[in-house]
Chains A and B, each alone.
Chain A
Amino acid sequence: MKKHRPHTAPLPRPRDRWQSILQRWPTVLVAGYSLAAFSWTMPGSLFPPKPIIDQVTGGPLLLLGLWQAWDMFSPDPRTTDICVEMRCTNRDGTSDRRMLSDMVAMGFYERWQKDRWRKYFNDHLRLDDERVLWQPFAEYAVRRLREEGEDPVLIELVRWWRPCEPGIRPELRADVRMTPWQSYVFHRWGVPREWGR
């Protein structure tokens, strides 16, 4: 029968204990980062300590570019098809329309390369909450149009949308669905003649 040896090792002195903790910095770092990243990515309603942890760890995460979000299509995916259009009217009365994020109309490579266009125009510029982006984009559009030889006097930004119909059927896919689109001009800028010249 085995006998357990009595534990005779002396208790670690405070100095040794600190050394032992210092030697474990990788463990503390990995555990701390994991907790910080988990808290940052969680919905506040499901993780009560989130405000406290984020307050402590948010600064370093933002400073070092380690902030993150993994909530695509959450809590629910969108139920409308959307895209953004830029309309321009030139001094000679001609007009031009450019769909900025009509992904279905793009070829396979173009829609892959322009995924950031979808992010910018559909997820941000389109929204009333992000109206601070509207005028800078209109001004950017004027600069580009002038480079192309046009002389715009009016820039309009238009949001297009159509709701998805209830149900899941092949004929409801965006590229074959016949639901009518609706539109709304959300920003209009009459370009002063001397602007930017």
Chain B
Amino acid sequence: MTSLWTGITGAAAAFDRWVRDPIDPRPLAWFRSWLGLLSLVNLWLLWPDMPMWLGNDGVLPPAVHRELMGDTRISVYMITGSSDAAIGLIRGLGLAGGLGLWLGIFPRCAAFCAWLAAVSYAYRNMDILHSGDNLIRIGTFFLIFARTDGVFSLPREVQRRFFPQTGPDADAHSGVVPAWPQRILQLQLCILYLAAGIWKATGPTWRNGTAVGLVLQLGEFQRFPVPDFFLTPVMSQLMTYGTLAFELGFPVLIWIPNLRLPVLLAGLAFHAGLDWVMNVQMFQWLITAYYLLWLKPASSSPASSAPRSDPACSVRPAR
């Protein structure tokens, strides 16, 4: 009993350190930048159909929307009411947010804008959402709290190249930052794969190995041509069980440092393959942004030994 308690407290202490020990901000900044660019592509794809999906004269008039939703959620509609001005606002926020995240211009403010745009169109018409929208909403929400200012940032690069004598010291912002936004997003990726794997494992076609073959034969999802030999029972079994193994294995194997890179590379190959054969808009791209959070920068940050006096960012002195 004592050893069990010791194990639990030891695991809790390790988790506490993992969450609170400060980190190099670069993986978060890579994530922010790639997510920002992809959110712009997402906005560009949605843009022409916004009046149809979100407008008062669109497919979902305000009265029907109110009947379906019942509750109020944070969105630009709290300001505009049921006005088509909301569409312009969502476009503006999405554009400013995506650009700001991509280029590192006021990144936390940009994250708020991108998040507000994403929650607003999600609130107005939930029937048009795909899994990639979930990744944008969640990613931008936690980026609001992430300190990536001055890292992987266009204004910073311009300042460094053309005005090296002006502004604050180059390393002032690129030291260590609180880890919790990155940790929460890393765990989010594990939860995503685990949930997807568990749901699939409950289905008979996933257990008998025909699921992927059936999906590849559906017209709805066809994208680029697939070689004929993929559409055989043996290949279907291989791909179905491979999908299950990957989705259930990722949340476990990613924690083993020596396996991390192979797991991430396998994941990239997995999603690249899905993106080739299946038409699911942006999900396969957006999930790669979350992969960046697992990368370790090649060289340590110059200020990585500088602690911050912040409970979210505890640094223990060397003993």
CA gap between A29 and B61 in the complex, in Å = 38
- Do the beta carbons of B202 and A43 come within 8 Å of each other? yes
Q: Decide if B154 is an interface residue (CB 8 Å cutoff).
A: no
Nearest-CB residue, chain B, relative to A31: B15
Interface of chain B, main secondary structure: helix
Q: Does A98 sit at the interface, judged by CB under 8 A?
A: no
Given A65-B119, A78-B214, A116-B53, 15 more A-B residue pairs with CB atoms under 8 Å apart are A25-B312, A38-B195, A66-B138, A71-B196, A71-B199, A76-B204, A76-B211, A79-B214, A103-B279, A113-B48, A115-B130, A120-B127, A140-B57, A168-B233, A175-B222
Return A152 CB to nearest CB of chain B, in Å: 16
Q: A38-B195, A65-B119, A70-B192 are in contact. Are A115 and B280 (CB under 8 A)?
A: yes
Within 8 A of B (CB), among A132-162: 132-133, 136-137, 139-140, 143
Q: Verify if A186 is at the interface (C-beta below 8 Å from B).
A: no
Chain B residue with the shortest CB-CB distance to A72: B131
Residues 31-79 (chain A) with a chain B CB within 8 angstroms: 31, 33-34, 37-38, 41-43, 45-46, 62-79
* Tally of chain A residues near chain B (CB < 8 A): 76
Task: State the CA gap A94–B226 with chains docked (Å).
Answer: 40
A-side contacts of B279, CB under 8 Å: 103, 111-112, 115, 118
Inter-chain contacts of B123 with A (CB < 8 A): 65
Q: How far is the CA of A133 from the CA of B236 in the complex (A)?
A: 37
Which listed residue, A73, A101, A120, touches B215 by the CB 8 Å rule?
A: A73
Q: Does A192 contact B (CB under 8 A)?
A: no
Which stretch, B24-32, B65-73, B159-167, touches the partner chain A? B65-73
A116 to B, closest residue via Cβ: B128
Which residues of the partner chain B approach A170 to less than 8 Å between Cβ atoms?
228, 231-232
Determine whether A191 belongs to the interface, using a CB cutoff of 8 Å to chain B: no
B141 interface residue per 8 A CB criterion: yes
Most buried by B among A79, A132, A168, A175: A168
Q: Which of A92-120 contact B (CB under 8 A)?
A: 101-104, 108, 111-120
Is there a chain B Cβ closer than 8 Å to A88's Cβ? Answer: no
Residue B64 lies at the interface, judged by CB distance under 8 Å to chain A: yes
Does B173 interact with chain A (Cβ within 8 Å)? no
Which chain A residues lie closer than 8 Å to B128 at the CB level? Answer: 116, 119-120
Query: B250 at the A/B interface (Cβ < 8 Å)?
Result: no
Bound-state Cα–Cα, A71 to B122, Å: 18
Interface size on B (CB < 8 Å)? 83
Contact with A along B238-259 (1 / 0, CB 8 A): 0000000000000000000000
B222-A27 in contact (CB<8A)? no
Known: A30-B19, A30-B183. A140 touches B52 (CB 8 A): yes
State in angstroms the CA–CA spacing of A25 and B115 once bound together.
23
Q: How far is the CA of A189 from the CA of B216 in the complex (A)?
A: 36
Contact B183 A108 (CB under 8 A): no
Q: Known interface pairs A72-B196, A112-B279, A168-B236. Does A81 touch B134 (Cβ–Cβ under 8 Å)?
A: no
Q: How far is the CA of A114 from the CA of B60 in the complex (A)?
A: 17
**Across the interface, do A24 and B73 meet the contact criterion of CB distance under 8 Å?**
no
Q: A8 contacts the other chain (Cβ, under 8 Å)?
A: no
- For residues 197 through 238 of chain B, which have their beta carbon under 8 Å from a beta carbon of chain A? 198-200, 202-206, 210-211, 213-224, 226, 228, 231-233, 236
Q: Is B45 an interface residue (CB 8 A)?
A: yes
Does A182 count as interface, using CB distance less than 8 angstroms? no
| Inter-subunit contact B222/A174 (CB<8 Å) | yes
Interface residues of B in 169-202 (CB under 8 A from A): 178-180, 183-184, 187-188, 191-196, 198-200, 202
- Cβ-based interface call for B288 (8 A): no
Check A173 for interface membership: any CB of B closer than 8 A: yes
A73 contact set on B, CB distance < 8 A: 200, 211, 215
Select which of B20, B199, B206 is within 8 A of A24 by beta carbon.
Answer: B20
Complex CA–CA separation, A167 to B57 (angstroms)? 45
